[in-house]
Amino acid sequence: MSAATGAFSPVRRVLRRRRTPLAIAGALAASAAFAAALAGRWPDISAAISGAPALVVAAAVLLQLLALLCRTEAWALSVHAAGGTVGRRRLYRASGIGSLGSFVNAELGVAARIAALRRSAPHESPHVPALAAAELPILAVEATLAALASFTLVVPLGLPWWVPLLCIGVIVALSAGLRRLAAAKGRWLAQGLAVTQSLRGRNRLIAFILVAVLAQVARNWMLLRAAGVDASVLDSIALLIALVALGQLPIGPSLGAAASVVIVGPSGLAAAAAAGVLLTATGNVGGLAFAGWAVSDSVLASGRLARVAKRLQWRRRPQAAGQAIWSALAALPISRRGIVERAYFGGLPYAQIVRTLGLAPAG
């Protein structure tokens, strides 16, 4: 095993079957514990959820889809800069399948996305270490935006004022260290960070991530207000940071409610939990829609439906061919028809040809 492959062996280990059941079990346990903690408030939570306008919920699903598509486009930029020649459609398919893994936690989603891309395009996509490194520019941009907006966590979490400055300093130091490591160490890391080497690629990557983040912030704000929480845009930003931070843990379906309670819980626990449930529901609907398209498109691209249609066509073809032969022979003059019968059918008359093909002569 090479050093590059060994460095990213955790990405491959995530794909092993024994890891996935543990992550799912942890997500179910966390969801059950959170549901038990809010057991006495379910009537209020249900009322807040049912009071959300359907138009707002539909808009939240569309915003989730927009965020997924923009992040996928940023990933496509990073993969192509890393040397991948795979088509955008296959990239989107792999990203859609990876969104299924994100229902458990973010790490499993990234691993599923890389595995799906390598399986569908093993020769056109970079190797696993380079694909894992291609995630780093996206994570770096998201971490930078989170650090710049970390001041929104000071009031909800009661943090000291200097914590945002510390976060910004840590992100700057990590970015500088990552660039030096890419220049000094393995080729796979430099290959994954290639998108940051050009100004155009870097700016496009930042633009797509920024649109995705703004879509998520807008979704948070809409659903918080729809659930009855008097939330500001800053609260929505803080909620997004909490969602990303808690998403690294195997919390599962309770992620949205847990993050909402942490950030805006003091202003109304039931309304905050209801907003979190709406966040999780709309996020899952958007993710399932994206994954459903990916799976259906994979089936269509694999040619299975075409093969089934071809088999059905071949079953009908003998009858259609026989009818065409009969029509062609019947239309010929008797002399020419005799020539065809002797040349192609050994002198077999057309009446016997029709009986052999199982057709009834017309006229």
Q: What is the pLDDT of residues 331-354, one digit of tens each?
A: 777 777 777 666 666 666 666 666
| CA angle centred on 202, ends 198 and 203, rounded to 5° | 120
Q: Per-residue pLDDT for 96 more than 70?
A: yes
CB 98 within 8 A of CB 116: yes
Q: Per-residue pLDDT for 305 more than 60?
A: no
Each residue of 32-45: pLDDT tens digit?
A: 665 665 666 667 77
Each residue of 213-263: pLDDT tens digit?
A: 999 999 999 999 998 888 899 999 999 998 888 777 766 666 777 788 888
- What one-character-per-residue DSSP string does 297-337 give? HHHHHHTHHHHHHHHHHHHHHHHHHHHHHHHHHHHS-HHHH
The Cα 84–Cα 76 span in angstroms is 9
Q: Per-residue pLDDT for 302 more than 80?
A: no
- Intra-chain end-to-end CA distance of the chain, in Å: 77
Whole-model pTM: value is 0.74
The Cα 332–Cα 340 span in angstroms is 9
The Cα 125–Cα 86 span in angstroms is 6
Phi then psi for 246, rounded to 5 degrees? -75, -20
Distances in Å between the Cα of 84 and the Cα atoms of 130, 140, 186, 283 are 10, 21, 18, 29
Confidence of residue 3 (pLDDT cuts 50, 70, 90): very low
The Cα 86–Cα 289 span in angstroms is 23
- In angstroms and rounded to an integer, the radius of gyration of the C-alpha atoms of the chain is 30
Each residue of 159-171: pLDDT tens digit?
A: 888 988 998 898 8
